[in-house]
Structure 1
């Protein structure tokens, strides 16, 4: 969140918070079990300052999740303004991949307790994304045997592409994104898709904390 319009302590607090969130994102993408001390070290702040801002790791994880979901919503809302149905859907998928917001879903699912507010935000993100999907499919721009639940699985495949160099990671994701988008078009579909799309319960179930062994 930009600090434009803020001044003095509020502006500095906003900058510090963004530094903490950016550091936390990188730390937990590499190791979801990392302690808060790893975040403090990566953000170059004292552990006391970190806990004053986020009282627990759970609170920090929920904040990261909310930021990622909000980004999904913003991307999908922009897609709704694009006139061409295919361009709207393809632009939405591309922006999600370029923003790397789905990586947090893959790495953090089930590691913290969700909240009603996060569930509402997740529902809004899914609703907007599904609307772009249905619009493209009804326009004949997507192969008819696709299901909206297939899209998160595509995001997961692309999020799995991760190399030490961020520039190389982005380039490879764009390469395989191009391949996948082409496969979604009707003219690329010559064989029916095998099996069934994941159910909504299968998708949401990954966010439930796992029971201790």
Structure 2
């Protein structure tokens, strides 16, 4: 009788973590990233790693084993924020009718995302290849949302991925208060925003091309490299 390939693979990897351990590690990592986002927003990048560990409910040693420096943690947070936007974009395209994709994307972003971290990292952290690759993935995912939204007259024809970034940055502004309450307030802006964009899309009115935000400009702004 032959050897089951999957069983042989598991036997060849005796140290492979059990599924429950993997889920626990992912949950801990998410807790760390959320804590880092909150602490950096409250205290800036000078906040000690111990404050992040305490907020996340993990040991400082465990935190340093996963992220050897605050810069490494900050970069992981940037990548997580962009990859989460990619996930929200893909889910929105796959799960709802095409004419609802743009509204669903914005609603999911408000409910679930880490939010952009412009004020936290600007100028303090360089752009390693992993961050630039995540930015490319996000641009491509947003372009897919844009393509659907343009086709169904949800946004003007000259809107692109950078316009969507500008919208979500403003939607997730730094309002004080309980996050759930802030999200409830912000959702009141969604319908007027979406309605206005639909009117602009249907009118075919030309915009000032020179005023359109460019992707490279946004990357420079987010990295703190603006002159």
Question: Which residue of structure 1 aligns with residue 220 of structure 2?
Answer: 205
Aligned twin of 1:32: 44
1:31-70 matches, cutoff 5 A = 31-33=43-45, 34-70=47-83
Q: What displacement does 1:13 show?
A: 4.3
Q: CA deviation at 1:78?
A: 1.6
Tell me, in whole angstroms, the C-alpha distance in 1 between the residues paired with 2:100 and 2:176.
28
Whole-Å Cα distance in 2 between the matches of residues 13 and 143 of structure 1? Answer: 43
C-alpha spacing 1:141/1:159, structure 2 compared with 1 (3 Å)? closer
Q: Retained in 1: the 8 A contact 2:154–2:201?
A: no
The Cα of 1:138 is off from its aligned counterpart by: 2.7
Alignment of 1:40-119 (within 5 A): 40-82=53-95, 84-105=97-118, 107-119=120-132
- For residue 6 of structure 1, the aligned residue among 20, 37, 45 is 20
User: SS where residue 55 of structure 1 aligns?
Assistant: coil
Larger CA deviation: 109-118 vs 88-97: 109-118
Paired residues of 2:35 and 2:56 also in contact (CA < 8 A): yes
**Structure 2 unmatched ranges of 5 or more:** 1-16
Q: Quick one: structure 1 residues 124 and 39, their matched pair in 2 at CA, closer, same or farther if it must change by over 3 Å?
A: same
Cα displacement (A) at 1:94: 1.8
Mapped pair 1:131 → 2:153: no
- 2:12 corresponds in structure 1 to none
Aligned with 2:94: secondary structure?
coil
Higher helix share: 2
Max radius of gyration: which structure? 2
- Structure-2-length-normalised TM-score: 0.76
Cα-to-partner distance string for 1:188-212 (whole Å, 9 max, x where unaligned): 877765661112221111244559x
Moved more, 81-90 or 184-193: 184-193
8 Å Cα contact 2:126/2:223 also seen in 1: yes
Q: Distance in 1 between matches of 2:175 and 2:107?
A: 16
Pick one of 23, 29, 32 that aligns with 1:17.
Answer: 29
Q: Does the CA-based 8 Å contact 1:150-1:198 persist in structure 2?
A: yes
RMSD: 2.9
CA distance in 2 between counterparts of 1:146 and 1:188 reads 9
Size of the alignment, in residue pairs? 207
- Give the Cα–Cα distance (whole angstroms) in 2 for the partners of residues 74 and 186 of structure 1: 28
Q: Is the 8 A contact 1:73 1:128 kept in 2?
A: yes
The 3-state SS of whatever aligns with 1:149 is helix
The two structures have a TM-score, normalised by structure 1, of 0.81
- Alpha-carbon distance change, 49 to 187 in structure 1, aligned in 2, over 3 angstroms: closer
Residue of structure 1 in register with 2:199 after alignment: 186
